[in-house]
Structure 1
Amino acid sequence: MSTPTIEPAVFSGDPYSEKHLLDPYPFLASLQEAGPVSWLESQQTYAVVGYAEVYEVLTDFETYVSSGGLGPRDIRKDDGWRPPSILESDPPIHTLMRRALTGVINPGTVRALRGDFTAPAVTLVDELSRRPGFDAIKDLAEKYPIQVFPDAVGIPMEGREHLLPYGNMVFNAFGPENYIYHQAFAEGDEHARVVMNACKRESLTDDGFGAGIWAKVEEGLITEDQAALLVRALLSAGVDTTIFGIGNTLAVLARHPAAWARLRKEPSLAKFAIDEALRLESPFQKFHRTTTVDTVLGGVDIPAGSKVQLFIGAANRDPKKWGADANEFSLERSSSGHVAFGMGLHQCVGQPIARLEMEIVLQQMLEKIHTLELDGEPTPILHNVLRGFESMPVRITTGS
């Protein structure tokens, strides 16, 4: 006998209103109260906020496909502004593209980056530690990844100023075509042209990750178009999402001076602190999947061809998974299993690189900076799908 289903709660709020984008958590809490799966009337989609339900969608790539697009419209039915990336593909295409990436990004190649990534962090943090304060976003979170990772990929120095606005455009495209989307695309043609040209084989050095990806074309594993898209996807993993990860981690720690003091005494906890900060302030807040068959999720019937919107920021704060204090930062919590980097088939392949950059920066700061506190409220970024900050003034002291 089949399990009886329930009618989903109907929720009328708009997750893309400016108010909810700048501070998403009150809205997410209201969604959680409505149930793990509800009907989001403003977007005509199913909202998925429960950790167990988000995890189910992320790991069932046959029922909930990515090829329909990570945004609200089905990209299989109309032409987008660019070819679908690895994030918007399914097997067998995704399998080949993923194999090409994992052949280049693996534990050995990531470990080899540590030396090259550490020296710039030492120099940058040493300079910042001589100031009474600085902007943790502009002076650190943005500056460091832009300095180190494009070198590892092997893209030219010229044109790197287009990387961040291009990334802003790419990720905003996973939301609705509102005024935020149109602002991001204001100079989109130029950003796309420069960045995609930088990802071509002739633009890349012979010893970087980019050349390694293009070697998979010669092996017949992927096409030239796929290689260029994979190089760009790799840049997103090592630059765009890392910037948000560093900034959000520092935002959390700057609000918890006791945690900073403990980390200085126990630097081995840095990895756990990063995971807990990513859980609490997930850079990637929401995206969509598309159902291929009639299914049941969280007790709710969902027809084939439906868009389901996964609220990662809610799943990572689900009290059923993380406890009654899920909205609080705690070094005592095991945050293993958070979905800030996704899960399953589409789990971020560049995750080890982002983690390496974040750990190196945090370790250098813990060595040199005695106290870290906010010097005014951070300015959140107005973005359709990402959670981060434009500016974050901090004041510091140095000493033992």
Structure 2
Amino acid sequence: MTHVPVEKTGEARLRASLSKWSLALRRAPESKRPDDPRYISYDRIRLQDGRVIGRKKVILMSGGCSVPTCTMCPFTNENNYGLQARPEALVDQVARVLARTPDEPDYEVLALYNDGSFFAPREIPRDVQVVIARRVAAAGVRMLVVESLPQFVTLKSLRPFVAALGDVELEVGIGLQSSDDLVRETLVNTRVSRAAFERAVVAMRQLGVRPKIYLMIKPPLLTEAEAITDVVESVDYVRALGIEGVTLCPTRVSRDTVAWQLWNAGHYQPPNLWTVVEAVRRAHEAAAVRVACINLRGTDFESVFPDSCPECADRIVDGLVRYSETGDLSDLPRSCACRPALEPVALDRPAIVDRSLELLAPLAPSQP
């Protein structure tokens, strides 16, 4: 019998093209980077219960994400992706991070990121995860925040880690990015399914672990109006699962990503800062909202950031920073002559797919 291949749907072709393109842009460093945290900062954050406390944010130098398919993510190109990682080097970095100095700002929350999934055993072996938890527990930290794709957040992975943390609260960040399957699995191109996300939420709830959900504002190939709709629908989905807070992440454009290639070709712009404000205002009533403001300040590495006009850009970013601490909408600016008229529009998925395939045709690696 002759096998007749089944023609891929437009969405499947788009997903395959974006996956291939994204992976083709990943680059291992020419030489191994030192085993030192690549980023450390201090700030104050508002918890879901309204408390504002100090946070130390650390990004460890690691072997990077084991599933680096996202169209906008620059982090794989900033670590030792493609090179053999030493698990003990992660423990050494954590030990140094936890050694407090007299001039260090006070903090109760330690956000410890590894440019990937903390609970993926290919990235951090299970025994090393537990060793890190014990180190954190002994350091007097009140809360630990890590990140992971949801497929690695299971009762099996969480139980020994939570036990080793003892009285330290655990918050696990998950980049859901969008509740819409097309936006999440194709345009963002993340390997996150709704089923895996909902299973992870259940597992965290059973062990008293707090979920921290990231949603993107204007992933590649969406318009400003579509982006607002996507945020509102995604917040509603998250709230329906009983999760009270979300972190909104305005998309930035960084080198060696699909988003960067699209931007260079004139087919993508990061969200206008007024789109960010509008998304926050519309999400505010449904959930406790924070904005990932590092994506607006441009303080870690070269990127094209969300912007508006010179008259209001700094004012908007300052307002979003304050709002993320206070949760008070009055901290957000009201208007500017540059503010565009923004009305959300429905996500017309077939139209988005067709439009995206047309844009990618001359740019992305071809698919069989």
Q: TM-score, normalised by structure 2?
A: 0.26
Q: TM-score, normalised by structure 1?
A: 0.24
Ranked by relative contact order (alpha carbons within 8 Å, sequence separation 6 or more), the top structure is: 1
